[in-house]
Chain A
Amino acid sequence: MRGPRGTVERLDQPSAYFNRNKRRRLEKENRDGDNNDDANAHNDQPEEDPLKNATTLYVGNLSFYTTEEQVYELFSKCGEIKRLIMGLDRFQKTPCGFCFVEYYTHQDALDCMKYIGGTKLDERIIRTDLDPGFTEGRQYGRGKSGGQVRDEYREDYDEGRGGLGRALQLARERERENRQYNDDDYGRLK
C-alpha cells in the first residue's frame, strides 16, 4: 500500500492490539472453514482495511482527573477536533482514563499518532491508537466494576487511576473485614 518496506519503522501504524483482534477474527474464520486451503485463499483477497481512512483515535492511559479541556488543548495541535468522547465508568459515569478523539481528516489522525502518541498529557505518557470509529456504548469501561479492564487487577499503585486495581482493592477490603485486626497493627508495617 505504501510501496516498499521502509528503512525506518512508522509510528502511524495501528498497534498490535488492533492487529491481534483482526488476526483472531481471521483465525476464527479459518477454524470455521472446512478446507484450510480455501480459508487461505480467502485471506489473500485484499480485505477492506477499516482503518484506511480512520479519523478517530483511541487515547489511553489518561489520568482519571484529566479534563476534556486538557485533551482539547493538546490534541488540537494536530488539527481541529471534530468530536471528543471521554471514557466513563459504566456505573459512576466519571472519567475512567481513556477517550476517543475524532478529527476531520485522516491525515490529522495519522499525525497525532506520530507526534502526540507516547508523549505526556497531564504528566502521564499517553497511548494513541487508530480506531475504526466511535459507536455508542464504547464510551463505557468494560471492567467488572465499571472502569477499564486493565484497572481491575493492576498491581501497581497508580494515583491518577484510582490507586490499586479495583478488584484487588475490593479483595483487600474484604480480607480486612474478615480478619479482626485493628488497623493500628498494620501501621508498623509501612
Chain B
Amino acid sequence: MADYDRRGGSSYNPRKRRYRDDDDHDRRGPPPAYGRRRFDGPPPHVRVRKQLIAIAENPMRSWHDEVTHIANLFTDNWDDELLRGNFVDLVLQLAVEQPLKTPFTAAVVLVANAAKPQVVDMLLAKLSSRIEEKIGAGEWRDVKLYLKLLACLQGCLEGEGVFPVLEELFARAVDLQTASSEDTIGTEIVKIILLTLPYVMVAAPGKWDQKAAELMDKTDIIASEPHQSQTLVDPYHPDPGDENPPQSQSLIGLLQTQLQHEANNGWTLSCLPRPWEFPLSEVEQRAKLEDAPKHALPPIKVPETVVTGPRPLFPEVYFSVYANQEVESVPPLSSAASSLIRDALVDTINVLDYNRNVTARHLIDLDCYFAPRTFAARATPFDKLRDIEPPKSTWKPEDVAVDAVFSQLFQLPAPEHKLVYYHSVLTEACKLAPAAIAPSLGRAIRYLYRNSPRMDLELAHRFLDWFTHHLSNFGFTWKWTEWVDDVYLPDVHPRKAFILGALDKEIRLSFAQRIKNTVPEPYRELISEEKEKDQPDFKFANDDTPFAAEGREIAALLKRKAPDEEINAVIQRIQSQAIDRDLDALVASTDVFVTCVLHIGSKTLSHVLAAIERTKDRLADAGAASDAARTQIITATMTYWSAHPGVALKIIEKLLNYSILTPETVIQWALTGLSGRTQGEALAAAHVYEMVFNTVVKVTGRVRQLASRPPSTAGDTDDAETREREVSAMRALFSAIQGALEAWESGKDVDMADGDGNGDAETRETVKRWAERWLRVFRRRATVEEAFLVEAKKERARRKEREEEEARKKAEAGDGDAEVVDAPAAAA
C-alpha cells in the first residue's frame, strides 16, 4: 500500500514538468528565437577566458580546431580592449596554474601571431620580466614553468630564442657548483635547463640540434655527478645484506642520459603534444604559421647571485611504485617520457593544492595533454596490457598518475605540502574513477607493503599513515587475506609491525568493533578486548594493586574537586608506605596521582584536558621533583591507555605543551626506558616511533619559527638569545636520540639484556636493523634542520641589509621620518 502511494505521488512530478515545458514554450516562442538567444551569449572576453581555461580538456575535440577557434575568436575581437589586455595575463597565469596546458595555450598564441603579431610582443614583454623577477626571488618552479611557455614559442622567436637565457642560467650554475660541492641551486638550475630543452626541440624541430648538443655537453658534468647529499634523500634504505638492493637514480642524472638518447635519435620526443603542427591537409593554416612574423625576445637579466628561494632545495631521486613489472605500465627509466610526464604531473599536483578535485581531474585526464597514443586506453586492466601488440603503448594512464602522487608522498626530506594533501588527491582520484584507479592503488599498496622493510623508516610510516587514512575513506575494505601469513610473524618483524600499526590507526579513525568486522579471523586476535572497552580499567579498583585504597581515595577527591590539602595527605601516606616497601616514593605517588587524573578524565579528551588543567601545578611539581618521577608520568599514561596508544600520545603532547614533560623525557622514556625493558623490540612499534617523531617535529618547528621570525622591535639581542638557546636545546635533543639509538645499533644494549638468556640471535639482528633505520631518519632530520638554520641566517642578513638600504634611502630623502622605516621592511 505504501509503495503504491509513493508511486502515485511521484507520478505527479512528470506531469508538473510537462506542464512547465508548455509554459516555457509559451513564453519563449518557437525554437529559432531560442537559438538567437544563445547566439548573443556572453561577450568575447568571457568566452575566450572560458575556452582558454578549458583548453584540451575535451578529448572529443581536435586540438587544431580548438586552438584555431580560440585564436580566431581572440583576433576577430582584437578591438575589444578588455579582451586584449586579459588574454596575455591569462596565458601567463595558466602557465603557472595549469602547467599541463602550456603547449596548447602556446599554440593559440602562435596561431594568433599570424593575424595579430602584436600579441606576441605584448606577451614576451611580460613573460621576460616575469622570468627575471622569479629568478631574482628564487621561485624556481615558476621560472621553469614560464621557461616552458617560452620554449613552446621558440618557433616565433628571432635569433636563438630561448638559448641565450638557458646559457646564462647555466653559467650561474657552473659558478655555484665550482664554489661549493654542497650547492643545490646549481643542480636545480641544470634540472630546469634540461626540462626546458625538450619543449624547445618540439617547438622548432630540426633547427637546434647543434645548439642543444653543445648545451648538453656542458650540463653533463653537473648532471652526471651524483650530488653529495643524494643518499640523504634516497627513499630506500636497504639492509647491508640485501642481495638485490633497489638502485635509486638522481633525477637530473636520469634526465641527462634520457635526453642524450633522444638527441641520438633526432629528438623524437614522442610523448610531447605538438598542437602547433597542423595536419598536411590544412595547407592554408600551415602556410600562415610558416610566414608569421618572428619576434625579438626582450633581454632577461640573471642576477650575479641567485638565491635558494622560499623552499629549501635538495637533490631529487626518481621514485616509482611500478618499477620492474613484467609488463611496462609506466614509462621506463630509459625513456625521456618518464621524466617529462612526471615533471608536468608533479607541477600540476603541487601548484593546485588549493583544489584537489581539479588536481584529480587533471590526473584522470592526463592522456588529453600528451601526444595521442602515448598511453593505453584508460582503465585497461593490468592483465590486459600483456595482450597489447608491440608498437602500441602499454603505459596505463592511471598508473602514471598514481605514481606521480606517490613520488610526492614519498619525497624526502619533505614534499611541498602537508602529506594529507597527497592523501586527499588520491582519495578524489579514486572517487572520480574508482574502476580505473582502485586497482592501480591496490598494486601500489602491494609493492609498498613488500618493500616497506627496505624503505627509509620515515617513508614506511608515511605509507602506514596514508594507507589507513585512505581505507577510512573507502569503508575500510582491503584484501587482508593476502597478507594473512604475516599475522603469525613475531611482532618485531617489519611486516607484522606494519599490520599492528595499521590496525591501531584504523581503530583510531573508527572503532575496534567496526575494524574487527573488516578483517579476516586471524587478524582479530590482534585486536584485544581492551580496545573494545569504552574506558580502560582503573587498576586501583582491584585490591591486589599496591596503593589501591589510596588510588580510589585520590580519584574520589579529584572527582569532587577537593582542596589540595586533602590530596596532599593521601600522597604523603603513599610516599611513606613506599619508603617502607623500599620503593621510590616520588615515583610511587606520581604513578597513583597521574593514573587517577587520567581515570577521572577517561571519558573524552576534553575531560582529561580539563583534569590536567586543574592539576597542572601538582603535575609540574611532580615532574620537576626527579627524572624518575617525570618519566613515570609517561609510563602511567602509556600504561593506562595501553589499548589506545593514540589517546596516550595526544595526552603526552599536551603535557609537553604545559612543560610538565620535556622532550628529553619522552626520548629517554622511549629509547632507553621502554626499549630497555623490551630488549629493543619497542623500536618496532609504530606508536613509539610516532611519539618520538612528533616530539622532534614539535621542537624543530619551534626552532624554525624562531629562526625565520622577523626581528622584533624590542631588540635583536633578546631574539638572538632565545634563538640560540632553543637551537642548542634542539641539538642536544638530536644527539640524545642518536646516542640512545647508536647503542641499539651497535648491539651493546641487546647483549646486556641477553644476559638473562632472553632473545635469540635473529631478534637481535632485527632490533639492530630497526635502530639503523631509526638512526637514519633522525640523522637526516638533524642535517635538514642545520641546513634550514644556515638559510634562515642568510635570509636574516639579507633582510637586515634591505632594511638598512631603505633606511639610508629614507635618510637621503631627508624627510627626517627615518623612524617609520621598519613598517615596509616588516611586510617584505
Contact = CB atoms under 8 A, between A and B. Distances in A.
Does B bind A? yes
Interface of A: 4, 6-12, 67-70, 72-74, 76-80, 84-86, 111, 114-116, 119-123, 189
A84 B97 contact: no
Contact of B509 (A86, A115, A121): A121
Contacts of B606: 68, 84-86
Interface string B181-212: 00000000000000000000000000000000
Interface in B643-679: 644, 646-647, 650, 653
Interface stretch (B347-355, B433-441, B745-753): B347-355
A170 to B, nearest CB: 21
A140 B563 CA distance: 31
A68 B424 contact: no
A8 B643 CA distance: 45
Given A12-B354, A189-B1, A120 B472 contact: yes
A74 B470 CA distance: 11
Contact of A7 (B53, B475, B510): B53
A114 B605 contact: no
Interface in B416-432: 417-421, 423-424, 427
B420 A115 contact: yes
A10 B355 contact: yes
B334 interface: no
B604 interface: yes
18 contacts: A7-B53, A7-B90, A7-B97, A11-B355, A11-B356, A12-B354, A68-B604, A70-B510, A72-B650, A77-B418, A77-B423, A77-B465, A114-B356, A114-B424, A115-B420, A115-B423, A115-B424, A119-B473
Contact of A73 (B352, B357, B427, B646): B646
B420 A7 contact: no
B358 interface: yes
A78 B424 CA distance: 12
Contacts of A4: 89, 93
A120 B424 CA distance: 10
A73 B93 CA distance: 37
Contacts of A73: 505, 508-509, 646
Contacts of A9: 355, 358
B428 to A, nearest CB: 9
A67 B604 contact: yes
B777 interface: no
Contact of A72 (B97, B465, B469, B605): B605
Contacts of A122: 509-510
Contacts of A11: 354-357
A10 B354 CA distance: 5
Given A12-B354, A68-B605, A123-B475, A7 B93 contact: yes
B362 to A, nearest CB: 10
Contacts of B2: 189
A167 to B, nearest CB: 21
A168 to B, nearest CB: 16
A111 B421 contact: yes
A26 B356 CA distance: 32
A115 B473 contact: no
B748 to A, nearest CB: 36
A80 to B, nearest CB: 7
B354 A114 contact: yes
Interface string B465-508: 10001001101000000000000000000000000000001001
A111 B418 contact: yes
B239 to A, nearest CB: 31
B98 interface: yes
A73 B472 CA distance: 12
Contacts of A76: 650
Contacts of B427: 119
Nearest to B418: A111
Given A85-B606, A111-B421, A116-B420, 18 more contacts: A6-B93, A7-B90, A7-B94, A7-B98, A10-B354, A11-B356, A12-B354, A67-B511, A69-B605, A69-B646, A69-B647, A72-B605, A84-B606, A86-B604, A114-B356, A115-B424, A122-B509, A122-B510
Contact of A8 (B358, B417, B475, B650): B358
B421 A120 contact: no
B473 A78 contact: no
Interface in B504-522: 505, 508-511
Contacts of B53: 7
B766 to A, nearest CB: 29
B508 A69 contact: yes
Contacts of B653: 80
B258 to A, nearest CB: 31
A86 B606 CA distance: 9
A77 B419 contact: yes
Q: Ordered nearest first, which 5 A-B pairs have the shortest CB separation?
A: A77-B420, A73-B508, A10-B354, A120-B473, A115-B424
B495 to A, nearest CB: 24
